[in-house]
Amino acid sequence: MASLRFTTAGESHGPALVSVLEGMPAGVPVLAADIDTQLARRQQGYGRGRRMQIETDRIEFLSGVRAGETLGSPVAMLIRNTDWRNWHEIMDPAPREGDAEGPRKRHVTRVRPGHADLTGLLKYDRQDARDILERASARETTARVAAGALCRVLLREVGVAIGSHLVHLGGIDARRPYDMPADLNAAADASPLRTLDAEAEVQMIARIDAAKKEGNTLGGICEVVVTGLPVGLGSHVSWDRRLDGRLGQAMLSIPAVKGVEIGLGFETARRTGAEVHDEIEAAPGRTRAGHVRRASNRAGGTEGGMTTGEDLVIRVAMKPISTLMRPLGTVDVATGQAAQAVAERSDVTAVPAMGVIAEAMAAFVLADALLEKVGGDSLAEVQRNLEAYLARLDERVER
Amino acid sequence: MASLRFTTAGESHGPALVSVLEGMPAGVPVLAADIDTQLARRQQGYGRGRRMQIETDRIEFLSGVRAGETLGSPVAMLIRNTDWRNWHEIMDPAPREGDAEGPRKRHVTRVRPGHADLTGLLKYDRQDARDILERASARETTARVAAGALCRVLLREVGVAIGSHLVHLGGIDARRPYDMPADLNAAADASPLRTLDAEAEVQMIARIDAAKKEGNTLGGICEVVVTGLPVGLGSHVSWDRRLDGRLGQAMLSIPAVKGVEIGLGFETARRTGAEVHDEIEAAPGRTRAGHVRRASNRAGGTEGGMTTGEDLVIRVAMKPISTLMRPLGTVDVATGQAAQAVAERSDVTAVPAMGVIAEAMAAFVLADALLEKVGGDSLAEVQRNLEAYLARLDERVER
Amino acid sequence: MASLRFTTAGESHGPALVSVLEGMPAGVPVLAADIDTQLARRQQGYGRGRRMQIETDRIEFLSGVRAGETLGSPVAMLIRNTDWRNWHEIMDPAPREGDAEGPRKRHVTRVRPGHADLTGLLKYDRQDARDILERASARETTARVAAGALCRVLLREVGVAIGSHLVHLGGIDARRPYDMPADLNAAADASPLRTLDAEAEVQMIARIDAAKKEGNTLGGICEVVVTGLPVGLGSHVSWDRRLDGRLGQAMLSIPAVKGVEIGLGFETARRTGAEVHDEIEAAPGRTRAGHVRRASNRAGGTEGGMTTGEDLVIRVAMKPISTLMRPLGTVDVATGQAAQAVAERSDVTAVPAMGVIAEAMAAFVLADALLEKVGGDSLAEVQRNLEAYLARLDERVER
Amino acid sequence: MASLRFTTAGESHGPALVSVLEGMPAGVPVLAADIDTQLARRQQGYGRGRRMQIETDRIEFLSGVRAGETLGSPVAMLIRNTDWRNWHEIMDPAPREGDAEGPRKRHVTRVRPGHADLTGLLKYDRQDARDILERASARETTARVAAGALCRVLLREVGVAIGSHLVHLGGIDARRPYDMPADLNAAADASPLRTLDAEAEVQMIARIDAAKKEGNTLGGICEVVVTGLPVGLGSHVSWDRRLDGRLGQAMLSIPAVKGVEIGLGFETARRTGAEVHDEIEAAPGRTRAGHVRRASNRAGGTEGGMTTGEDLVIRVAMKPISTLMRPLGTVDVATGQAAQAVAERSDVTAVPAMGVIAEAMAAFVLADALLEKVGGDSLAEVQRNLEAYLARLDERVER
């Protein structure tokens, strides 16, 4: 039985999204505001279009939380689509009069390159790409952020913090500061692009404005940084227990993500071993790995498929949004004729938001791996077992 | 119930490795030679050390295959470690006289940076890092290649071919040919580095020789290319059904892999949407996606978490081997004192072999996704259902 | 990846229940009424108390269904607890003023024997057994019935029908008719106890009335019968693929169920092989197993962990409800003193409803096994692959 | 990620069986003899035929164990089929000369009622039922017993003991003693039928002798009893976490098992609530559930899908062996004509062995549930976390 599982449901213009997180210990203190804060962070970002204004996402706990604490039972969160009133006719679960006479309004057959439209239509044997794109929409990630927010609360209670920042946008690199800010997200969220490099930010904004003018879109790269992780989450013993792989799946499952790397990542291919591996040394005080630490963290916090006790550093690359206002060539699947792809309302870039989604996915994988490691059905038990593990590390490594 | 599952077992110097693949349809024609051929491919590569000569890996089918056909039951493959005779005393499963007096020969406490040694010791609370490194060894991937070889046979029977080539080694790029060879592996395997660029190969060999002299190691990048995949493997509907994520986990679960990208990957972050998305057009004949195709394949064969019917292209970055003959600084966990890491026998680079392993992991993920899509308990049923699906695509897209 | 997954969430007196079914093919015709009909069947039964009148359960599709057809995406169904208005204060997810002064109203510490109260309190380290009993409540099964109702629709589209009837209640056996009614549920649902034996029904009602008078409760046995299943769902190859086991888990996961048997079940232990095994014979026409059939069906539709093509027959035993109006001795966990268990509102028996729940669980397991066997992402593809399989059986067995 | 997983592979007359247990903590002391002892117990039983003499099963650890301790890595156990030398030609994985001229020796087309022969042939589209029956054989359970034996060692180290005895055979009940023996298996294994009732044993032996004479077979019922389990394994929160269901799957996955019940089981259907539920009382000393206990154990050790801290009691019903020396009527699938089923060598009854297999399956489910509850990657960590949990129970329940 998996420690933690999560399921999301919901179409972009349906009545609501649902996020269910199963396997949370009891006794974790959580308020709706803890979740809503993360949802709001997902809605940030220069270059977002109209929808981000329409929807101010808020969750309602339908289950699993009482008096501000988790109960150990599945936590279901409902996130209403406030736009639903305008889409009821189009997205109605029930058949409607007139359905027989032809497709509903806003049906889509001029499938968009880069999106799930065509692959989904063929796989699921549908006629209207709306049946696909409503689910393949980035809106689904709202429900992921909600589940991740809950995982984040659990991690917070054991001293783990997750942040991210944007390190590249549409050809422009942001410099990573020499020392990361103590509160990474406070710093990153202060920027409309969630970058720590104010100079690059100016150029990026200009880049976005230019892309918007030409009806184009932009991709970029975010870096997720996790602090406070104990050594030994994940495992080397079997391929599907390795934490790197599980993080990789989580990141590459985010819509439009095309690459992921941990620590130096692709750069390790260019260096020698002596320039890549992090020497091990005794630490003056207690670390998250007993009394040892690494002289550097080029590994980005994992070795042998396990956390090392150093910061976890993951970089995630996102392609430009697939819906261009200046549409690409395609085929109309209703006629088989060449056509211009449909141009649905769209942002220029979603990279700043993607960082928040990547944080959420990391939170899920890490909370799951933590519970695997220490077990526990209540927060107190999780903390007690983790503390005993850390104390044992002290004992065995300390001299 | 998952369609396909695989489990590997075995320590590097234990008696044997075992690879069990569960969920294969019956009636798939397979010989031990089909597996051994892949194991031999894994043992290639300029810059490999002595062990590759010692061990010529061969499998014995223990189950699941009869008269050259799979039975539908779990296929267990045994791969003996021929070196076992020299390690029996050290790795004996049973306690031995003298165990109480101290650790067995070749015990390891000067843990190697970059390897699982230290993280594993702390997580599993062991005293001898051999208890970790024997499993965290690259030798485990032999069992993966065996399972993947079987998956590859299934895929071959439905027209899917998997190859790879080395595109970067230790700072040196190989050029990708304008047209990929019809038989990618035949071309790549002809090179001691599995690269298609003969000029780069010369430089890479010099780079390896130099690294060897200085007791250093090298990383690199391989590209996996899969042809013949039908449209619609994987799904956009849930995060953990997305094929990109599942491929990402498979690749990042390979020891020493630190990055993975699909299609243009990280490069998509630098481009605009118009330069990234692949326009869709009618195809003159039947494709693996009905009668449509992409004008380009910058996506690398997936959109919306599903195969597009174009070639799947994955690039995988591997860090340099962690065991350097010129060892790095570390801590001796038996004393807590600074020390030089143990120097186990090691190759300079394992990147050429990594491509073969990445092929195997891709084969597993794709065979699993294929069986999910079309079901089937016999090869004939798999083929029949797939053919009916492709025929339906014809019918619906064709005009 | 599993073919089908379902998750339920929701406390008995929380705002709502949620049922999410993930993995349904697209194109399955479904209306809310298809689900509501099953929810209403769950609410039947002589001997039910007040709550069954309060709540007339209805689902709202939140996702996965459009224009009366599934989309292939997760189907989330919301079932509001109409009683929520009376419980808002007690079950509020948010902390409330006054929480610090002591437990909320209706807190429970006199834990009920036979219920999850005590085990849950200890496992999850809670103080108020309401934190446990709200989830351990039979109300959770409403969400199971909703998910099962959807699976039932899929099965109906391939000719599989699931029914049940009550065969025992509190010491009174119902006779099984010589020939089962063509529409089992139409016949069973006509009885307030869902039994096909009108004479036994009279006695059972008297038994319930008597138990009610003495503040006692009753258990019983239901039989689930599934017709139209093709041969070969499930598998003999691995322990966790066997259909019997998966059905067994599904049934024993229903609250208060203490036993399950397939076909003759425990009776097979009393007979000889010659009296147990079903002889095989040629069938005059096409069956769900080619052109063969069994002369009898003592196996109850499974052999070797697979369906045989005969009717599946499962019997499920339920213990009496744990909440007695004449309460049992217990310990007050707040004081450690002996006490009388709390007497929450309760029915005398829930056995008639349990049959409907068992049908739902069977529907889930069978739909999952069907999709495993034939694959398919749309109803048309499921039907096409199944038909091709059945045609192949004809061909191979027919002479 | 599941805590524990196990996979078995191997045909009855193939070269060997393999059992792989994945997820065991490190540091569990284990010898091959711990496993072999359980394999020998599986081979007991009056009424077993020749094969039990041929094969004295012994495991070889191929991985995961060193110096008498687990390493945390997958434990693979090899069990050779000593009969292989006689079956090499028939079961050869490789094609042989002459294969094209017709089926191999000992091919089977007169499929046996009650066995997987026919269902498997149709599902997997095979011509020779040997391709099915070799895997559907009871011999597969040897590998289950091996995996279970390892789980049993882990459980032993935390004070949990698993035993079983036969309570019914072919129409004859054994009386359960008033007090169970302190060492249940020592007592049961002293009987050739593994029953605690010496009088019933005499009748059962006569029954077996009579059945043998008439070429018939017999079924029966075993009871598994587990002592020392802490309260709170399993969970009420989700259907697939409930321990009853997981035990039910494990038991009904055993070949030829047709029924399972926990505690009073089917008998609870006949009684009132007052006669079924176990009153709760303060315990004089420390129990496995804090300082409370049950006045009776009619529940058989589970409430709300969780262990109660009382003994777990499961009864498992097995049908008679399907291969009768006096064969049943069937169809020859090669000709479509009526025929007598093939009569493979067979025992009269396998019920005594089934108890040992049921113990093994229980051991797996319980070890998995234990690791879920307390986590832990080494035995010391498992023990430490469990002890802390029990201490917390003391603290909260004790007055």
So what's the ipTM on this one?
0.97
- Whether A178 has a pLDDT exceeding 90, the answer reads no
- On whether any CB of chain C is under 8 Å from the CB of D11, the answer is no
The verdict on B60 touching D (C-beta cutoff 8 Å) is yes
Per-residue HEC secondary structure of chain C comes to CCCCEEEEECCCCCCEEEEEEECCCEEEECCHHHHHHHHHHHCCCCCCCCHHHHCCCCEEECCCEECCEEECCCEEEEEECCCHHHHHHHHCCCCCCCHHHCCCCCCCCECCCCCCHHHHHHHHCCCCCHHHHHHHCCCHHHHHHHHHHHHHHHHHCCCCEEEEEEEEECCEECCCCCCCCCCHHHHHHCCCCCCCCHHHHHHHHHHHHHHHHCCCCECEEEEEEEECCCCCCECCCCHHHCHHHHHHHHHHCCCCEEEEEECCHHHHHHCEHHHCCCCEEEEEEEECCEEEEECCCCCCCEECCEECCCCEEEEEEECCCCCCCCCCEEEECCCCEEEECCCCCCCCCCHHHHHHHHHHHHHHHHHHHHHHHHCCCEHHHHHHHHHHHHHHHHHHHCC
pLDDT at C398 over 60: no
| 8 Å CB contact between C23 and C5 | yes
Mean pLDDT of D294-310: 97
A-C CB pairs within 8 A amount to: 186
> What's the pLDDT band for A323 if we cut at 50, 70, 90?
confident
Asked if D384 and A375 count as a contact pair (C-beta separation under 8 A), the reply is: no
Q: What is the pLDDT of residues A212-271, one digit of tens each?
A: 999 999 999 999 999 999 999 999 999 999 999 999 999 999 999 999 999 999 999 999
Does C54 score more than 60 pLDDT? Answer: no
Residue A30 has a pLDDT of: 98
Q: Does domain A5-398 have CATH number 3.40.50.300?
A: no
pLDDT value for B100: 84
Phi, psi at residue B116, to the nearest 5°?
Answer: -75, -5
Residue with tokens 């004089």: D284
pLDDT surpasses 60 at B111: yes
Q: What is the pLDDT of residue A319?
A: 98
Q: Which of A45-49, A271-275, B225-229 has the lowest mean pLDDT?
A: A45-49
Q: Residue B62 carries which DSSP code?
A: -
The first and second tokens of residue D166, run together, are 């036969």
Nearest chain A Cα distance for residue C10, angstroms? 5
D295: closest CA among D313, D307, D277, D312? Answer: D277
Interchain contact, C22 vs B74, CB within 8 Å: no
Encoded amino acid at C26, one letter: A
Domain ranges of chain A: 5-398
Task: Flag whether pLDDT at B397 surpasses 60.
Answer: no
> Is the pLDDT assigned to residue A50 strictly greater than 60?
no
Q: Which of A348, A328, A346 is nearest to A338 (CA)?
A: A328
Q: What is the distance between the alpha carbons of residues A11 and A140, in angstroms, rounded to a whole number?
A: 7
Mean pLDDT, residues C265-289: 93
Pick D375's closest partner by Cβ from A1, A237, A372: A372
Answer yes or no: do D94 and B67 touch at CB < 8 A: yes
How far is the alpha carbon of B102 from chain A, nearest alpha carbon, in Å? 17
Q: How far apart (Å, rounded) are the C-alpha atoms in residues C184 and C226?
A: 10
Q: Which residue in A2, A394, A363, A4 sits closest to A231, CA to CA? A: A394
Contacts of A100-103 with CB under 8 Å at 24 or more apart are A103/A127, A103/A128
| B22 and D CB contact within 8 Å | yes
Contact state of A247 with B246 under an 8 Å Cβ cutoff: no
Cα–Cα distance measured from residue B258 to residue A269, given in angstroms and rounded to the nearest whole number: 9
Calculate mean pLDDT across residues C137-144.
Answer: 95
Identify the CA nearest to A218 among candidates B266, B298, B269.
B269
Helix (H) or strand (E) segment spanning residue A380: helix A379-397
Which C residues, 284 through 313, put their C-beta within 8 Å of a C-beta on chain A? none
CB D330 within 8 A of CB D114: no
Looking at residue D128, its pLDDT comes to 96
Query: In Å, what is the CA distance from A80 to each residue of A18, A240, C57, C152, D139?
Result: 9, 35, 21, 29, 55
Q: Residue with structure tokens 């380009």?
A: B296
Q: Is B149 exposed, middle or buried (0-12, 13-18, 19+ CB in 10 A)?
A: buried
Nearest alpha-carbon partner for C144 in C381, C364, C302, C335 = C364
Nearest-Cα distance to chain D for C274, in Å, is: 7
Global confidence as pTM: 0.97
Q: Which residues of A touch B255 (CB under 8 A)?
A: 236, 304-305
pLDDT for res B399:
46
Residue B178 — pLDDT band, cuts 50, 70, 90?
confident
D-chain residues near C136 (CB < 8 A): 236, 304-305
Task: For residues C112 and C272, give the distance between their C-alpha atoms in angstroms, rounded to a whole number.
Answer: 43
* pLDDT band at residue D233 using 50, 70 and 90 as cut-offs: very high
C45 pLDDT tier (thresholds 50, 70, 90):
confident
Q: Which of the two residues, D228 and A322, has the higher pLDDT score?
A: D228
Q: Are residues C392 and D125, on separate chains, in Cβ contact within 8 Å?
A: yes
Chain C residue numbers touching A63 (CB-CB < 8 A): 9-11, 14-18, 135
D94/B15 touch (CB, cutoff 8 Å), yes or no: no
pLDDT in the model for residue A274: 93
Mean pLDDT computed over every residue of chain A: 94
Instruction: Give residue C44's pLDDT.
Output: 82
Provide mean pLDDT across the span C264-272.
97
Per-residue pLDDT at D399: 46
Q: Per the CB < 8 Å rule, is A385 touching D392?
A: no
User: Residue D338 — φ and ψ, nearest 5°?
Assistant: -60, 145
Give pLDDT tens digits for B75-88: 999 999 988 999 99
- pLDDT for residue D47: 63
Our CA-based measurement puts residue C91 at a distance from the nearest CA of chain D, in whole angstroms, of: 17
Look at the block and give the residue holding tokens 């091990």. Answer: A280
pLDDT greater than 60 at residue C53 = no
Q: Does D349 touch chain C (CB under 8 A)?
A: no
- Mutate which: C11, C58, C65, C73, vs A, most A CBs within 10 A: C73
Kindly indicate the confidence band of residue C397, based on its pLDDT and cuts at 50, 70 and 90. low
Summarize the confidence of residues B227-241 as an average pLDDT. Answer: 98
Q: Point out the least confidently predicted range of A50-59, A64-73, A170-179.
A: A50-59
pLDDT of C248 higher than 60: yes
pLDDT higher than threshold 70 for residue C19: yes
Please report, rounded to a whole number, the percentage of residues in chain A having pLDDT higher than 70. 96
- pLDDT value at position C399? 45
Q: Calculate the average pLDDT of chain C.
A: 94
Q: What are phi and psi of D272, to 5 degrees?
A: -90, 165
Token pair recorded at residue B369: 């996704």
Q: Which of A195-209, C49-63, D98-112 has the lowest mean pLDDT?
A: C49-63
CA of A129: how far to CAs of A135, A342, C261, D10, in Å?
A: 10, 10, 46, 47
Nearest-by-CA chain C residue for D127:
C396
CA distances from D318 to A334, B14, D203 (A): 58, 40, 19
- Is it the case that residue C239 has pLDDT exceeding 90? yes
**Percent of chain C, pLDDT > 70?**
96
Q: Does B26 touch chain D (CB under 8 A)?
A: yes
C2 touching B, CB under 8 A? yes
Is 50 exceeded by the pLDDT of residue A399?
Answer: no
Alpha carbon of D76: minimum distance to chain A alpha carbons (Å): 13
Query: Which residue in D63, D64, D67 is closest to B92 by CB distance?
Result: D67
- Can you tell me the mean pLDDT for B16-27? 98
Positive/negative CA dihedral, D282, D286, D290, D295: negative
Q: Which of B123, C252, C334 is nearest to A234 (CA)?
A: B123
Please compute the mean of the pLDDT values over residues C212-225 and round it to a whole number: 96
Please tell me the predicted confidence (pLDDT) of residue D158. Answer: 98
Touching subunits of B (3+ CB pairs, under 8 Å) are: A, C, D
d(CA C123, CA D280): 16
Give the confidence band of D52 by pLDDT, cuts at 50, 70, 90.
low
Per-residue confidence (pLDDT) for residue A131, from 0 to 100:
97
Q: Is the pLDDT of residue D21 over 60?
A: yes
pLDDT at residue D213 tops 80: yes
pLDDT higher than 90, residue A1:
no
| D380 in contact with chain B, both atoms CB, cutoff 8 A | yes
The average pLDDT across D196-210 equals: 97
Question: Which residue in A40, A248, A8, A252 sits closest to A140, CA to CA?
Answer: A8
Cα nearest neighbour of D380 on chain B: B125
pLDDT tens digit string along D247-282? 999 999 999 999 999 999 999 999 999 999 999 999
Task: Give the mean pLDDT of B269-288.
Answer: 93
* Dihedral of alpha carbons B111, B116, B122, B125, sign: negative
Structure tokens at D108: 């089977």
Mean pLDDT of D294-304: 97
Cβ contact (<8 Å) for A60 and C18?
no
Q: Which residue, B111, B82, B68, B63, is CA-closest to B15?
A: B82
Question: Which chains form contacts with chain A, at 3 or more CB pairs under 8 Å?
Answer: B, C, D
Q: State the average pLDDT over residues C372-395.
A: 96
Residue B325 pLDDT > 90, yes or no? Answer: no
